[in-house]
Structure formats: C-alpha cells, structure tokens
Amino acid sequence: MSNKYTVLILSLIMLVSCSNAFSQSHNASAYDHLADPKIQKGHILALTAPETMGRATGSRGSAIARNYIETKFEEYGIEKRGILYSQEFELEVTAGRRGNGESSLGHPSEKIKGYNVIGEIKSTNGSKEYIIIGAHYDHLGEIKGKVYPGADDNASGIAAMLELARMFNTMKGDGKEIGANLIFVAFDGKEQSMAGSRHFVRRLRIHNSNIKCMINIDQIGSTLAPPHKDKNYLLVLGRDSLENWASTQLDLCNRIGGIYMDVAYTFYTS
C-alpha cells in the first residue's frame, strides 16, 4: 500500500475544505511526515488477526474489529456524533450468507445487527459544510471452514481512514485551519448489500447542500497490475458523477502537492 495515497487524500481534503488551494496544499504537505506506514500496517494486522475471523457482519470477530476502531478514534481525539461512536442497524440476511461459520440451516432468513463506527473533527471556523471520509470494515468472514481475513478488502481502507483521522486531529491541535467538518465513518454491512452505508445516509440529518464531497476508500492494498508503468497508482471510480469543479481537484492536488501518483479514471470501463 503506497503511503503516497494517504498524503494525496490529505491534500485533497485540505483543498476542498478551504478556499485557498495553494496555501492549503502547502500546509498539507508540511504534514507528509505524519503518514506512517508502520501505523497503517499495525491497523491492518489488528483487523486481520485470527480472532476477528474475517469480520463478517453480526459476528464476534466484527465486534472485535469495531472495538478496535472505536478505541483508535478515542485515542486520536476524534469526537463522537452523539453519545456513542457506534451506530446500530438491523438487516435481514438469507440463510447461509452470514459468513461467520455459524449455521442458519433451516431458516430462510434471519435478522442480525450491524454497527457503523462514526467520528467527527469539527471545523475551526464554524463552517456548516461537511466532508465525509469512509471505508467499510466488514468482510466475508468464514465460509465452509475457510477464513477470509480481508486485508485488502478492506482493512487497507480502514487503515488509511484511521491515519487521516489521526493526521487531521494533529493538524488541528497545531492550530492549522480545518475549513469543513470532517466525518470519519467505518461502514458495516457492505457485503450485505451495503446495508450500513444505506442506514448511515438515511440517518445523517445533514442537508445535501452542506456536503461538499464524500471520499470512499476501498482496496488500496490491491495487487492488481498497474494501469501504466508507475507502481504508485490510484484507481478512481465515480468521477463522472461529480460536478465539474470537483472532478479536477484530485489532479490539482497531485500536481501542486508534488505527489505525482499515476491516477487512472478508466481502469474499470470497457
């Protein structure tokens, strides 16, 4: 997993959240050294440890992973949105699809509980605008006796999200401007028809006009062959759905911040 990715997203969030693109990119680059590969590797090892059993929604392993993320939010000084970090939701799964090795034989469906983990860093200027940074933490669990740890899908994304939360809170503590409210969310239930993200959107209670962008981080430890020659690359999905001003921001950060990752927008298109 390239550490350039975390620095690029840091620069992107700083640029989008503040009006002065150059100065904010400069401020972000001053914190490049905070992006620590060892810390990110530690997150991945914790989330893929044997006791997490692949983090299937509703499993004991999922609860262990959720507790780890909440503990890191608290350690990094990330505020709760409400009285808890966790956001409970209920979903119905088809027999045999729990993925945690627990039999549901004889039951066509069953209801289980999932939990998103949500934290926030408030802006330093009283802004009513929000940027959401998310990644799902659930995975396939255990299927027919085989555990699927999910290091790439998506412990890698959670590791980057936690690192960004730590870096931004450090910047805020150092008196740097945070120009928008930052919501960090670890989604559960992605492998169950994205149940967690659907619940999050329904309960967000923030007007759409106040959400500047949402950055979803998924599978950044991929072993896919690079789209071109550069091994430091980023595959981007969803650019076509952005407004014109927003679709150029990643390229701008890549250039102004001196990161120079190979950013590919058409990898998954025919």
Mean pLDDT by runs of 10 across the 270 residues of the chain is: 81 77 55 88 97 96 98 98 95 65 53 96 95 97 95 96 96 91 97 94 94 94 83 86 82 86 78
Question: Comparing C-alpha atoms, which of 261, 257, 259, 263 is closest to residue 21?
Answer: 257
> So what's the pLDDT on residue 71?
98
8 A C-beta contact, residue 143 and residue 191? no
What are the residues whose beta carbons fall under 8 Å from the beta carbon of 35, sequence distance 6 or more? 3, 6, 7, 10, 163, 167
> So what's the pLDDT on residue 108?
64
> The pTM is what?
0.89
Question: Comparing C-alpha atoms, which of 18, 14, 16 is closest to residue 167?
Answer: 14
8 A C-beta contact, residue 28 and residue 167? no
What are the residues whose beta carbons fall under 8 Å from the beta carbon of 199, sequence distance 6 or more? 87, 89, 114, 116, 189
> So what's the pLDDT on residue 159?
97
What are the residues whose beta carbons fall under 8 Å from the beta carbon of 7, sequence distance 6 or more? 28, 29, 32, 35, 257, 259
Question: Comparing C-alpha atoms, which of 190, 180, 131 is closest to residue 158?
Answer: 190
Cα separation values, 47 from 44, 65, 115, 139, Å: 5, 6, 15, 10
> So what's the pLDDT on residue 59?
95
